[in-house]
Amino acid sequence: MPRLVIISNRLPISIQKKPGGSIEYQRSAGGLATGLGSFYKNYESLWIGWPGIVREGLKLEETKLVKDSLKEEKCYPVFMGRRDIDWYYNGFCNRTIWPLFHYFPTYVKYDNEYWETYKKVNKIFFDTVADILQPDDLVWIHDYQLMLLPNLIREMYPEIVIGFFLHIPFPSYELFRLLPWRNEILMGFLGSNLIGFHTYDYARHFQSSVRQLLGLDSLLGQINVNGRIVKVDAFPMGIDYHFYSQASKNKEIINESDKLKEKFGNRKIVISVDRLDYTKGIIKRLKAIDLFLEKNPEYEKKFTLVLVVVPSRIGTKNYFLLKKQIDEMVGYINGKYGSIDWIPIWYLYRQLPLMNLTALYNIADVALVTPLRDGMNLVAKEYLATKAERKGVLILSEMAGAARELGEAIIVNPNDVEAIVEAIKKAFLLSAEEQVEMNRTMNHRLSRYTIEKWAKEFLDNLIKARDTQLEYSTKKLTKTIRNRIQNEYISAHQRLLLLDYDGTLVSFADAPRKAKPDEKLLHLLEKLTRDQRNQVVIISGRKKETLESWFDFSRLILVAEHGAWIKRIPDDWQTIEPLSNQWKEQIRPLMEHYVDWTPGSFLEEKDFSLVWHYRKADPNLADVRTKELENALLDLIANLNLGVLRGNKIVEVKNVSINKGRIASLLLNDYPSDFILAIGDDYTDEDIFTMLPETAHSIKVGIGSTYANYSIQTPGDVRQLLLEITEVTK
């Protein structure tokens, strides 16, 4: 495994200057630091990030001291001034991106100065990284504070392997599009080889924004960015399962737990543990406690809510206001229901050390985890892990990424205060057996997908993404290969050129009729066909009438409908074998139904096939409809000797025996040649590539696995190549 360079806004260790001037090192708060912090030490790795203190807060000699001590922990600090922290961290990160990505659009501040500082700080990170980076390193960038960094690194180091993981939700396109700097941010992400999210939904939202804003499609989770492959996938973050699941056997934790139990006596213990954050739903949770006690007075004195709020981002106004609101609510509830011998809420505003927090998980009967939005939420997982084969109920918000994996918990809508009240009651009433059973299933899952597994899976996929890229790059048509093709072309006596049309000689257009050949292309083809040693064939999926109206060269062979029809001058069109199209009557009504049902789509009728085009339809709707249509078609075509072909923004039904490979082998036979060149862009062309002899040259246009020997990026590059060939033979 190559060296791993982790980069995140916050280092796993934060520095604080105490009032007396001493420097204190502390474990950083938040899931990113706690989660990754537990595993990175075992790797050959280093971590670059902010140590949580502004540059002005340290004297020069202290800065040096801090650098040295952090280095011992394999940490490399990025120092920023007060103003930068204010506009980048408090500003763009936590007043723009954080609320927008957590579905709080009214909290969002769009400020150009924030954006400029965000760009500047990403550049500062880049400078630190550039000093440390070695060409074989694996770079792993984390989170929304550094969304521009992947592309900054990519521009300087085109070959380096970069992974990016977003720890917060990626919002739906409708929210993301509100961001004035949306395209720059997407391009920043796309500097990576692999982009990971906690859930499949976030990955889907990201791909949808890339498609709608940058016009880049993803195919099987791969996006083609100017010939570079970017993989997108979901990797739900796990926890240090071994540690939490062994908590009830750990001496230090047992001692701590005993002390706590003594304090709370027989009362049930409900816990609530979060950073101070409006996304965590703390206010709604407190409202639910109030309502629970109001509706169920018999539970007075029967439980205590331990409310842990970890100080966070108080430099941002909404956080500061939230703190005041929580203080008031706690005071109100404790005043309303408390007595000399009981207060309902035991409120701690501080970060608990790991052992104390785990002891709290260990003894808690119920955990209330009800964020309004949360990328993952590790507290929910950590709590459950202390309950392997034990009692303990998790009440979990459906808006937390963790809910995707912890479906056996009591799942609630965090905005529905009544539902939280009901959930608390249910949790108190669940039998011990039921609790153990629920926890068993979830623990099994947590024990398999741990933090180590998560990181390993991400890094394995990162290496795979690099290999896919390498494979693609090794197939790239280099200058040397071009020269070789040229030389073979020049010395050949008889040449066969098999050329696909759409996506190969011309780019795709909104409507198929718009992709007609331009003058330059016609001129090029005319030149190629004029050479008596050349036999040029256009092998297309188009209708014969269309091809005929576009190409009128005496020596050009035309193949239409993926090989159903062929026309050689002076003959007329012929089918490759007797074909029937009686089946169309049965299939057409279904396809017409999908046209009516999907605005922007239309049906094309060819002699021996029916094609549903959806290029102009809403991409998300089309995605769903395509799958539905394919399913419906598969039922209908059984026993009809038909096949369903999914091409570039089309679904086509045609005779199963027709494919481009069949016609290619016929042509290879009829036109023996000592130079064969085949070029195509989609999987219908793969049938040609597999038919070719070893000496032939086959070229795929675009990315993706291929049987072709080489790949090239765009139709423009194809034309350039053909031009080069005709030039040398002039």
Ligand X SMILES: O=P(O)(O)OC[C@H]1O[C@H](O[C@H]2O[C@H](CO)[C@@H](O)[C@H](O)[C@H]2O)[C@H](O)[C@@H](O)[C@@H]1O
Ligand Y SMILES: O=c1ccn([C@@H]2O[C@H](COP(=O)(O)OP(=O)(O)O)[C@@H](O)[C@H]2O)c(=O)[nH]1
CA 61 to chain centre: 43
Residue 93 Cβ vs ligand Y, minimum distance, rounded to whole Å? 13
Name the amino acid, one letter, at 728: V
Among 2, 3, 23, 29, binds ligand X (CB under 6 A): 29
The residue (of 376 and 622) whose beta carbon lies closer to ligand Y is 376
Q: Please tell me the distance from the alpha carbon of residue 712 to that of residue 715, in angstroms, as a whole number.
A: 8
Among 9, 34, 209, 397, binds ligand Y (CB under 6 A): 34
Among 121, 378, 506, 663, binds ligand X (CB under 6 A): 378
- Compute the CA torsion angle 54, 60, 63, 69 (nearest 10 deg): -160
Strand-pair category, 366-369 with 268-275: parallel
Which of ligand Y, ligand X, none sits in contact with 273, Cβ below 5 to 8 A by type? ligand Y
Q: Does 31 bind ligand X (CB under 6 A)?
A: yes
The residue (of 58 and 378) whose beta carbon lies closer to ligand X is 378
The residue (of 229 and 393) whose beta carbon lies closer to ligand Y is 393
Instruction: Report which DSSP code applies to 168.
Output: S
Q: Please tell me the distance from the alpha carbon of residue 328 to that of residue 315, in angstroms, as a whole number.
A: 20
Which of ligand X, ligand Y, none sits in contact with 313, Cβ below 5 to 8 A by type? ligand X
CB burial readout 494-521, b (16+ within 10 A) else e: ebbbbbbbbbbbbeeeeebeebebeeeb
User: Which residues in 357-386 contact ligand Y (CB under 6 A)?
Assistant: 357, 376-379, 382
- Compute the CA torsion angle 445, 447, 451, 456 (nearest 10 deg): -80
The residue (of 458 and 707) whose beta carbon lies closer to ligand X is 458
In the sheet that holds 609-613, the strands lie side by side as 602-605, 609-613, 650-655, 642-647
Among 4, 6, 11, 30, binds ligand Y (CB under 6 A): 30
Among 5, 32, 187, 395, binds ligand X (CB under 6 A): 32
Q: Does 289 bind ligand X (CB under 6 A)?
A: no
- Compute the CA torsion angle 144, 147, 153, 155 (nearest 10 deg): 180
Residue 399 Cβ vs ligand X, minimum distance, rounded to whole Å? 10
Residue 706 Cβ vs ligand X, minimum distance, rounded to whole Å? 37
Residue 222 Cβ vs ligand Y, minimum distance, rounded to whole Å? 29
Residue 278 Cβ vs ligand Y, minimum distance, rounded to whole Å? 12
The closest alpha carbon to 303, from 292, 311, 295, belongs to 292
The residue (of 32 and 48) whose beta carbon lies closer to ligand X is 32
The residue (of 204 and 275) whose beta carbon lies closer to ligand X is 275
C-alpha to C-alpha distances, 178 to 182, 229, 233, nearest whole angstrom: 8, 27, 24
Strand-pair category, 303-310 with 13-17: unpaired
User: Which residues in 297-316 contact ligand Y (CB under 6 A)?
Assistant: 308, 310
Q: Does 381 bind ligand X (CB under 6 A)?
A: no
Which of ligand X, ligand Y, none sits in contact with 358, Cβ below 5 to 8 A by type? none
Tell me how many residues contact ligand X (CB under 6 A): 20
Q: Does 29 bind ligand Y (CB under 6 A)?
A: yes
DSSP per-residue letters across 80-123:
--HHHIIIIIIIIIIIIIHHHHTT-GGG----HHHHHHHHHHHH
With contacts defined by CB under 6 A, name the span among 369-377, 389-397, 403-411, 420-428 that binds ligand X: 369-377
Residue 353 Cβ vs ligand Y, minimum distance, rounded to whole Å? 7
Q: Which two tokens stand for residue 336?
A: 């309303």
Exposed, middle or buried: residue 493 (CB in 10 Å: 0-12, 13-18, 19+)? exposed
Residue whose C-beta lies closest to ligand X: 30
User: Which residues in 227-246 contact ligand X (CB under 6 A)?
Assistant: 237
Q: Does 414 bind ligand Y (CB under 6 A)?
A: no
User: Which residues in 169-208 contact ligand X (CB under 6 A)?
Assistant: none
Catalytic residue set:
500
Tell me how many residues contact ligand Y (CB under 6 A): 17
Residue 239 Cβ vs ligand X, minimum distance, rounded to whole Å? 10
Q: Mark out the alpha helices in 496-649 (DSSP H runs).
A: 519-530, 544-550, 584-597, 619-637
Judged by DSSP in three states, 393 sits in strand
Please name the helix (run of DSSP H) or strand (run of DSSP E) that holds residue 174, with its range, or none: helix 173-176
Cβ neighbours of residue 452 closer than 8 Å, sequence gap 6 or more: 39, 238
Among 143, 240, 382, 502, binds ligand X (CB under 6 A): 143
- Number of Cβ within a 10 Å radius of residue 538: 24
Q: Which two tokens stand for residue 255?
A: 């001692």
Residue whose C-beta lies closest to ligand Y: 31
The residue (of 142 and 606) whose beta carbon lies closer to ligand Y is 142
Q: Please tell me the distance from the alpha carbon of residue 207 to that of residue 217, in angstroms, as a whole number.
A: 8
The closest alpha carbon to 643, from 635, 633, 653, 629, belongs to 653
Among 275, 567, 613, 662, binds ligand Y (CB under 6 A): 275
Which of ligand Y, ligand X, none sits in contact with 143, Cβ below 5 to 8 A by type? ligand X
Among 4, 6, 13, 35, binds ligand X (CB under 6 A): 35
Among 150, 375, 541, 715, binds ligand X (CB under 6 A): 375
Which of ligand Y, ligand X, none sits in contact with 310, Cβ below 5 to 8 A by type? ligand Y
Which of ligand X, ligand Y, none sits in contact with 161, Cβ below 5 to 8 A by type? none
Which stretches of the chain bind ligand Y, using CB under 6 A?
29-31, 34, 273, 275, 308, 310, 351-352, 354, 357, 376-379, 382
Residues at the interface with ligand X (CB under 6 A)? 9-10, 29-33, 35, 143, 167-168, 237, 275, 312-313, 374-378
